[in-house]
Structure 1
Amino acid sequence: MKQSALLSFVEPLLKLRMNPSPGYNVPPPSIQGEKELIDAAKKRPEAFEPLYKRYFEPIFRFVYQRLNDTDTAQDITQQVFINAMVNIKKFEYRGFPFSSWLYRIAINELNKWFNSRKAERTINIESEGLDDLIDEMEEDRYEDYYEQLANALADLDAESLMLVEMRFFEKRSFKEIGEILDITENNAKVRLYRLLDRIKNVMKEA
């Protein structure tokens, strides 16, 4: 089926669930029965609707936290699902949640948006996540510590910042982070702890 025909099925979906809460920490939907939903969507575009309803909110929140702009976040989230629907026949189920694939599409769309506008990346810092990050770094909270840490986070490249956000502010497991970034669970751990060491060194030199 041509893309134009596929999109005719998408338009009604885009009117659904347009007012999700933008906060962090969305419980991941159950993946029970997910393979059957994916197989059905590959055969019939209109069968994509249950996947859209299931994952719109967590994908929207993921995008919103990196933009802090509701309208733009909705536009990008819609594009994520259009891309997913058009390319769903390329998706191979390997036991990972369908959402991992959607998050990778979302990351690509976010990168395209930032690159096209040379816009600055938004960092939404919550106190609980920040405390978890500091505890993991095993650092004493000296005067100006929080300010220096915030500055260090602001200077991170997009990929490194994504890793910190997913682990400490979105409370994702290393397994899920690995699935989203398409790396192993152990690789996700190694990358994060090397990154934390780098942040500590930057702060010591500040």
Structure 2
Amino acid sequence: MEDELRQIEIAKTDPRQFAPLYKKYHEAIFRYIYKRVDEEESAYDITSCVFVKAISNLPKYEFRGVPFSSWLFRIAKSELYQSFRDNKAKRTVSIDSVSIAQIIDDLNEDYSEEQRLKLMQILPQLKEQQLQLIEMRFFEKRSFREIGEIIGMTENNAKVKTFRALVKLKELFNRTKA
């Protein structure tokens, strides 16, 4: 962490020194975006915008006890939503079986193919922020602190809103027939 903070401080005065940070985080940022747009070319374009914005705003970056990656993911989220607004695109929900099993377990249900299909059917019914909270917590395995930093809320608020999103998901899950 100290090496990274030192690298950030150096890059603040010389943008060419941002390269190691770019190499470290490019793949993760690209995957985050690609999972949501499901189109490789768009994902590369948005990822480029994220890093251009990161370099230009690097002098404003302040360490607040959370990983530098959280700051980058916040920029990625912003660029992604701007892209959705510009293109009026519908976001993609990328889900794996392990994450689905964990959510179904949290809903106190038995995991089956029928339950998985039911969950896939209701996830898009959630509000954008609820879906994002569930994705970051269960699919990306982020801490509440990181989630709060990315979304722009306190850690406690991230916990509360994630819990409420799960309550809403459970409500929809129990109301929906597979």
Q: Is TM more than 0.5 here?
A: yes
Which residue of the other structure, out of 114, 120, 124, is the alignment partner of 2:90? 120
Moved more, 172-181 or 134-143: 134-143
Aligned-pair CA distance for 1:90: 1.1
Which runs of no fewer than 5 residues in structure 1 stay unpaired?
1-30
Which residue of the other structure, out of 101, 111, 121, is the alignment partner of 1:151? 121
SS in 2 for 1:65: helix
Does 1:169 find its partner at 2:132?
no
In structure 1, the residue matched to 2:76 is: 106
Aligned-pair CA distance for 1:141: 4.7
Q: What is the rounded CA distance, in whole Å, between the counterparts of 1:162 and 1:143 in structure 2?
A: 23
Aligned pair in 2 of structure 1 residues 141, 95: CA closer, same or farther (>3 Å)? closer
Structure number having the greater helix percentage: 2
Which string of whole-angstrom CA distances, capped at 9 and with x for unpartnered residues, describes residues 139-198 of structure 1? 245784323221210112222111111111112222222222232222211111111111
In structure 2, the residue matched to 1:205 is: 175
Which residue of the other structure, out of 5, 18, 27, is the alignment partner of 1:57? 27
Which residue of the other structure, out of 181, 185, 200, is the alignment partner of 2:151? 181
Q: What is the rounded CA distance, in whole Å, between the counterparts of 1:141 and 1:89 in structure 2?
A: 48
Aligned-pair CA distance for 1:35: 1.2
Aligned-pair CA distance for 1:48: 1.2
What's the Cα RMSD here?
Answer: 1.6
Aligned pair in 2 of structure 1 residues 143, 131: CA closer, same or farther (>3 Å)? closer
In structure 2, the residue matched to 1:41 is: 11
In structure 1, the residue matched to 2:108 is: 138
Which residue of the other structure, out of 52, 62, 66, is the alignment partner of 1:82? 52
Q: What is the rounded CA distance, in whole Å, between the counterparts of 1:62 and 1:93 in structure 2?
A: 22
Q: What is the rounded CA distance, in whole Å, between the counterparts of 1:142 and 1:129 in structure 2?
A: 13
Q: What is the rounded CA distance, in whole Å, between the counterparts of 1:148 and 1:50 in structure 2?
A: 43
Which AA in structure 2 matches 1:49? A
Which runs of no fewer than 5 residues in structure 2 stay unpaired?
none
Q: What is the rounded CA distance, in whole Å, between the counterparts of 2:26 and 2:112 in structure 1?
A: 41
Q: What is the rounded CA distance, in whole Å, between the counterparts of 2:145 and 2:42 in structure 1?
A: 29
TM-score, normalising length: structure 2: 0.91
Structure 1 residue runs of 4 or more that deviate by more than 6 Å after TM superposition:
none
TM-score, normalising length: structure 1: 0.79
- Check the 8 A contact 2:105/2:111 in 1, yes or no: no
Aligned pair in 2 of structure 1 residues 57, 32: CA closer, same or farther (>3 Å)? farther
Q: What is the rounded CA distance, in whole Å, between the counterparts of 1:170 and 1:143 in structure 2?
A: 22
